[in-house]
Amino acid sequence: RILDEHRRDPLRLVQILVRIQHDYGGCPPAVRDYIAKAVNVPQAQVHGVVEFYHFLSPERLGDYRIYLSDNITDRMLGNERIMAVLQQDLQVRRGQPRADGRVHLDYTSCTGLCDQGPALLVNGRPITRLTPALAGEIAERINAAEPLDAWPAHWFQVEESLRLAGPVLAARSEPGRALQAAFQQGPERLLKEIDRSGLRGRGGAGFRTALKWRVSRDAPGKAHYVVCNADEGEPGTFKDRTLLTRFADEVFEGMTLGAYVIGAEQGFLYLRAEYGWLYPHLVAVLARRRAEHLLGHQILGHDFNFDIDIHLGAGAYVAGEESALIESLEGQRAVPRTRPPYTATHGYLHQPTICNNVETFVKTTLIARNGADWFLASGTRHSPGTKLLSVSGDVARPGIYEYPFGVSVQTILDACGATDTQAVQVGGPSGTCITPLEFGRAISFEDLSTGGSFMVFNRSRDMLAVVQNFTHFFAGESCGFCTPCRVGTQLLRQSIDKIMAGHASARELADIAETASTIRSMSHCGLGQTCANPLLDTLQRMRPLYESRLTSLDFVPGFDLDGALAPARELSRRDDAAAHLGQRCDELGCI
Ligand code: SF4
């Protein structure tokens, strides 16, 4: 049935596997082999895809699959206590199946619910604001084998957390109005208007949207495609969750405008796995738009056909990189492509493709409706318009804030009720960590660029624990394609673990800088190029924090040499001085 729903299309392999995972709890070997034959792809491809994505599993994980969010903000809100309660009450160990095989419990990096954590996903459905008592109730219902549909409905409600609406969030547009305006002016004038607005991609890189669309439109190809990147996986970012909930029409209309400009008939919205619970809502909006002739054949009576398909991700941070996302759309592992050629000319099926972020498409819709001057009325010369920020961490009012570009960090801190702030991580782990001396800096492409994540840490926080969380995140998300990133992220993880365990020497800090420089310059994609940012930023701004953890100026091993010999001593029944090793190099005679 699932295979037939997806027309046994190998391009939909990830979709088929996501569905099987959802319905049956896993993709065991016999199922994978059957799928390989049915869609006519090598078995190795199916195995490779299942092994690649976090939310696909090579074995069945049970009836209840629980992923507890482990972003640093969830840690700060006590997710470790929640994990302890769940493990205890469910009689299951993290990452291992319960004895009866019915329950699986593990951490996942970030569920896009940092404004209302600690949060978890159970069979893909979110539960926020967890407390130990609520975790106990969840365990009780699971132990009683109660189906999720019988659980209290309010447990699954997610707040929108809209705290400050600027011109974009306050502007509701009637579905179809931007399209009507576009049809009146024609695709070339619409493109010129978007160009005049100076709109830059809101994913963080800030590429000019009109330029991307023009390059794609002018590129030769059998077909052109539109892709919406709704895979916001940067820890601490959740603004797209609200946009997709409240502004889905604007997102789809922006995609339709893009199709009108470049001449596409097919679009895809790639939805991150953690937002899978939004899928039914988005499908319903698409169906309504088709009924209103805003999608499909001869849109609003014009000679223009376009439709949108929603693809679900399966859990891979690197899929947010646009060429990796295209690979995933084609049923492959989300490994970034070698570029050039770029997606604009060689994207989906190697055809011209525009790939833009959710927020960028919303803004395109509003520019088409309200004009470039409306958009240019806010922001700075090089960063026109506004930016949506996902504010979380040590603040009184976490949530979504819309500010004109150029706003200072201090203004945002004042608005969200942050006090005694020690540091702000702007742009997520791959972004920039700043300290109070820099709170006058501006959110903009020319100063602090961000895809939207804005995490606040007060002075009670151990910033090295923050760095450790981010460094573990990158080590877990490296796709393994290139050696500097695959090995380097593990080396950085080991270094920060060693520092936290009190085994590091000054040499460790020098090694971090050297490893970071190699990864940054030799890695294939942005993950490798930015994965050392948390370590480097804090080493530069908070070096005494590191130095206070160093135990010796000499090399200190990262593990207990003498302790490792304990079983041998026990076997040989020796415990004299000669049966023990010193730990330090000077004791060992190395120096
Ligand atoms: Fe994969 Fe890292 Fe290389 Fe990017 S830099 S392709 S994530 S291994």
Domain with residue 447: its CATH number is 3.10.20.600
Check whether residue 233 and residue 316 sit in a common domain: yes
Q: Which of 478, 483, 492, 533 to mutate to test the pocket of ligand 1 (most atoms within 8 A of CB)?
A: 478
- The Cβ of residue 297 has, within 10 Å, a number of other Cβ atoms equal to 11
- 246 pLDDT higher than 60: yes
- 384 pLDDT higher than 70: yes
Ligand 1 pocket check for 336: Cβ under 6 Å: yes
Check whether residue 494 and residue 538 sit in a common domain: yes
User: Which residue CA neighbors atom 4 of ligand 1 most closely?
Assistant: 525
Lookup: tokens for 24: 């049956």
Check whether residue 99 and residue 218 sit in a common domain: no
Ligand 1 pocket check for 498: Cβ under 6 Å: no
Check whether residue 118 and residue 259 sit in a common domain: no
- Does 561 fall in a domain? no
Q: Of 69-73, 91-95, 447-451, 563-567, where does mean pLDDT reach its minimum?
A: 563-567
Check whether residue 332 and residue 344 sit in a common domain: yes
pLDDT computed for residue 569 by the predictor: 86
- Does 127 fall in a domain? yes
- Does 266 fall in a domain? yes
pLDDT computed for residue 568 by the predictor: 85
Token pair 């050392």: residue: 532
Q: Which of 337, 482, 491, 515 to mutate to test the pocket of ligand 1 (most atoms within 8 A of CB)?
A: 482
pLDDT computed for residue 508 by the predictor: 87
pLDDT computed for residue 485 by the predictor: 96
Cα 486 to averaged position of ligand 1 atoms, centre (Å): 7
Cα 318 to averaged position of ligand 1 atoms, centre (Å): 8
**Of all atoms in ligand 1, which is nearest to the CA of residue 480?**
8
**Of all atoms in ligand 1, which is nearest to the CA of residue 477?**
7
pLDDT computed for residue 553 by the predictor: 56
Lookup: tokens for 467: 């760095």
Check whether residue 142 and residue 201 sit in a common domain: no
- In whole angstroms, what is the distance from residue 337 CA to residue 327 CA? 8
Which of 124, 152, 180 is at the close of a domain? 152
Check whether residue 233 and residue 371 sit in a common domain: yes
Average pLDDT over residues 41-58: 95
Q: Which DSSP string corresponds to 117-170?
A: -S-EEETTEEE-S--HHHHHHHHHHHHTT--GGGS-GGGG-----EEE--TTTT
- The Cβ of residue 95 has, within 10 Å, a number of other Cβ atoms equal to 9
- 64 pLDDT higher than 80: yes
Instruction: Provide the residue range defining the domain that includes 494.
Output: 464-547
Check whether residue 233 and residue 300 sit in a common domain: yes
Q: How many domains does the chain have?
A: 5
Check whether residue 302 and residue 390 sit in a common domain: no
- 358 pLDDT higher than 90: yes
The whole model's pTM is what?
A: 0.92
Cα 32 to averaged position of ligand 1 atoms, centre (Å): 26
Cα 484 to averaged position of ligand 1 atoms, centre (Å): 8
- Does 555 fall in a domain? no
- 586 pLDDT higher than 80: no
- In whole angstroms, what is the distance from residue 577 CA to residue 79 CA? 44
ipTM over 0.95: yes
Ligand 1 pocket check for 485: Cβ under 6 Å: yes
Tens of pLDDT, residues 537-568: 999 999 999 999 987 655 556 667 788 788 88
Cα 522 to averaged position of ligand 1 atoms, centre (Å): 10
* Cβ(513)–Cβ(438) below 8 Å: no
- 78 pLDDT higher than 70: yes
- Does 265 fall in a domain? yes
- 189 pLDDT higher than 70: yes
Average pLDDT over residues 481-501: 95
- Does 571 fall in a domain? no
pLDDT computed for residue 581 by the predictor: 72
- Does 424 fall in a domain? yes
Which one is predicted more confidently, 440 or 204? 440
pLDDT computed for residue 554 by the predictor: 59
- CATH code at position 538: 1.20.1440.230
- CATH code at position 286: 3.40.50.11540
Check whether residue 318 and residue 174 sit in a common domain: yes
Average pLDDT over residues 512-541: 94
**Of all atoms in ligand 1, which is nearest to the CA of residue 486?**
8
Check whether residue 348 and residue 452 sit in a common domain: no
pLDDT computed for residue 591 by the predictor: 43
pLDDT computed for residue 555 by the predictor: 58
- The Cβ of residue 373 has, within 10 Å, a number of other Cβ atoms equal to 11
Tens of pLDDT, residues 302-346: 999 999 999 999 999 999 999 999 999 999 999 999 989 999 999
- 588 pLDDT higher than 60: no
- Does 305 fall in a domain? yes
**Number of residues written out for the chain:** 591
Check whether residue 485 and residue 432 sit in a common domain: no
- CATH code at position 87: 3.40.30.10
